[in-house]
Amino acid sequence: MRKNNCVKICKTNPLLLGIKTRFKQYIGAYGNTRIYIADLEDIPGKESYEITSLRSLYGRVDDELFALASRAIQIFHWYTNHLFCGRCGTRMRVRHHELAKICPSCNFTSFPRLSPAVIMSVIDEDRILLARSPHFPKGMYSTLAGFVEPGETFEGAVAREVKEEVGLDICNIHYEGSQPWPFPHSIMAAFSSSYKDGSIQMDERELEDAAWFSRDNLPHCRAG
């Protein structure tokens, strides 16, 4: 969201409602309803609702609606952060037939960016490895996570992140699932793994604590 601007998920094309927009994009359907994202100068009727963060909606709305909201945020982030061509500096134009921007000067095309990330459990018999970052709320822990680097596989990123952050070697790395992680433009792939060797040697630049926990003494946890 930009100063004096608002992003709104609309249930019809904003132009059909007489709403002026700088940018609009169809993002999918919710049931039988077509959903658009629009960049507005102001939101009509804003006194009838309150603006909230996407993260606060997690678990409060159904998965389909949350996925649409996530898609909206990621598209809006791309739109507002790629106003000018990264090659020649010319102002970009929206390509209406696809989700892209094109430079009218050098024809460079920009598509929405996704930054792949991994999150992993590390299991040693009946124990799981958990850690906490300095910015976590007091007492909260999480499994380890990190971004995939260029030229790296997901499995390679899992092993590297564990080694870098806590000094452990792992094995039996298995993919479990994925989730859009629009904070602001990631896709999170989840993996399970098994402890292989080493003792915890924490990277204090990233973590303030890391330890093994059993099922009966788990701390308060968060995802990611």
* CATH number of the domain enclosing 197: 3.90.79.10
Coarse DSSP helix, strand, coil percentages of the chain, rounded to the nearest 5 percent: 20, 40, 40
- Residues 194, 155 share a domain: yes
> What pLDDT, in 10s, does the model give residues 33-58?
888 888 876 666 666 667 788 888 87
Tell me the mean pLDDT per 10 residues along the chain, length 224. Answer: 46 63 85 85 66 81 88 91 96 90 97 95 97 91 96 98 98 95 91 98 95 90 60
Instruction: Count the residues in the chain.
Output: 224
- Beta-carbon neighbour count of residue 46 at 10 Å? 12
- Residues 105, 36 share a domain: no
- Residues 193, 127 share a domain: yes
Task: Judge whether 152 and 164 are in contact, CB under 8 Å.
Answer: no
> What pLDDT, in 10s, does the model give residues 94-117?
988 889 999 999 999 999 989 999
How far is 154 from 175, CA to CA, in rounded Å? 9
Q: What φ, ψ does residue 13 adopt, rounded to 5°?
A: -60, 120
- How many domains is the chain built from? 3
Residue 96 has what pLDDT?
80
- Residues 122, 105 share a domain: no
Q: What is the DSSP string of 159-192?
A: HHHHHHHH--EEEEEEEEEEEEETTTTEEEEEEE
Where does residue 188 rank: exposed (0-12), middle (13-18), buried (19+ CB within 10 A)?
buried
Residue 212 has what pLDDT?
97
Q: Print the domain residue range for 106.
A: 84-112
- Residues 163, 149 share a domain: yes
- Beta-carbon neighbour count of residue 198 at 10 Å? 13
* Amino acid in the structure at residue 87: R
Q: What's the whole-model pTM score?
A: 0.79
Task: Judge whether 58 and 74 are in contact, CB under 8 Å.
Answer: no
- Give me 183's structure tokens: 């904070």
Q: What φ, ψ does residue 155 adopt, rounded to 5°?
A: -65, -40
Strands 186-197 and 115-124: parallel
* Amino acid in the structure at residue 194: S
